[in-house]
């Protein structure tokens, strides 16, 4: 069986209030994207497809992939305008693959245990995603901020990546999504599989350290973890 990771590093990071894309900000003198790529490099994964922003592929090849010796990065391709565009570009670039692991490059801490759980889950169920039970009480509000509902906390999980799928399943789901052309409300790959294939998604345990770098506070927290 061949296991391939798609690492998305095409985001602009507007909430970071920085001219530098968040995936290239430094954590302990190395770019954020370095840590996710290192995790996949040291794992059972066979290859990595790195998706970059437009015009960033040469920089990523020289200053990240070659500089740090990431031999499993077999392709570096430009992404699209939205996340689903970037994922679809990568899926079409992949050949001869059984399982796909899609990961946000702005999540620097996908450790070995997470990846092993992803492999076990996807090989059994075909569609799964990392997540963690929320620590906080969640409230559902209306447009005026008035509380309308309070779901039971034990049933509420925060979604993470990697999200893993059989290649045939996720490719078919994305083919149908782009044929249909209705992208409203699509925020992650699990939603594409749920909506296009009517396929249930099994959640496996990620980690509370598996944070996504989105705001300046996240950089400080990630440095503390390191």
Closest C-alpha among 196, 14, 210 to residue 91: 196
pLDDT per residue as tens digits for the range 52-66: 998 899 999 999 999
Q: What is the pLDDT of residue 95?
A: 82
The structural domains of the chain, ordered by start, are 3-130+159-225 (3.90.550.10)
- 18-45 average pLDDT score: 92
Query: Which helix H or strand E contains 17, and what residues bound it?
Result: none
DSSP assignment, residue 135? S
Q: Work out the pLDDT band at 21, boundaries 50, 70, 90.
A: confident
Instruction: Give the torsion sign (CA, 158, 164, 170, 171).
Output: positive
Please say if the pLDDT value at position 17 is more than 70.
Answer: no
Does residue 201 come out as left (phi exceeding 0), alpha (psi in the -120 to 50 range) or beta?
A: beta
- Look over the chain and give the mean of its residue pLDDT values, rounded to a whole number: 94
Q: Please, what is the Cα angle at 204 between 198 and 205, to 5 degrees? A: 150
Q: What's the pLDDT at 14? A: 62
Does residue 98 register a pLDDT over 70?
Answer: yes
Cα distances (Å, whole numbers) of residue 7 to 13, 21, 35, 209, 225: 16, 15, 11, 18, 21
Q: What is the pTM of this model?
A: 0.95
Residue 210: asked if its preceding bond is cis (omega within 30°), the reply is no
Q: Could you read off the pLDDT of 174-217 as tens digits, one per residue?
A: 999 999 999 999 999 999 999 999 999 999 999 999 999 999 99
Task: Provide φ and ψ at 163, rounded to 5°.
Answer: -115, 130
β-pairing, 147-149 vs 140-141, is: antiparallel
The tokens 């679809």 sit on which residue?
88
């Amino acid at each position: 069986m061949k296991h391939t990771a798609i690492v998305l590093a095409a985001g602009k990071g507007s909430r970071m209030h920085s001219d530098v894309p968040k995936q290239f900000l430094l954590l302990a003198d190395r770019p954020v994207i370095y840590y996710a790529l290192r995790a996949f490099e040291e794992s059972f994964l066979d290859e990595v497809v790195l998706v970059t922003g437009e015009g960033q592929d040469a920089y990523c090849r020289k200053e990240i992939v070659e500089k740090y010796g990431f031999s499993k990065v077999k392709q570096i391709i430009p992404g699209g305008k939205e996340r689903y565009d970037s994922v679809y570009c990568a899926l079409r670039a992949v050949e001869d693959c059984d399982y796909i692991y899609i990961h946000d490059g702005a999540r620097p801490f996908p450790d070995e245990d997470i990846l092993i759980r992803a492999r076990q889950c996807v090989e059994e169920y075909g569609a799964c995603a990392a997540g963690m039970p929320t620590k906080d009480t969640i409230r559902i509000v209306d447009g005026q901020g008035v509380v309308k509902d309070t779901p039971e906390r034990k049933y509420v999980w925060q979604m993470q990546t990697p999200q893993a799928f059989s290649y045939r399943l996720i490719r078919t789901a994305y083919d149908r999504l782009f044929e249909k052309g209705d992208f409203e409300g699509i925020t992650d790959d699990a939603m594409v599989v749920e909506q296009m294939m009517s396929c249930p998604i099994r959640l496996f345990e990620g980690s509370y350290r598996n944070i996504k770098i989105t705001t300046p506070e996240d950089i400080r927290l990630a440095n503390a973890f390191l």
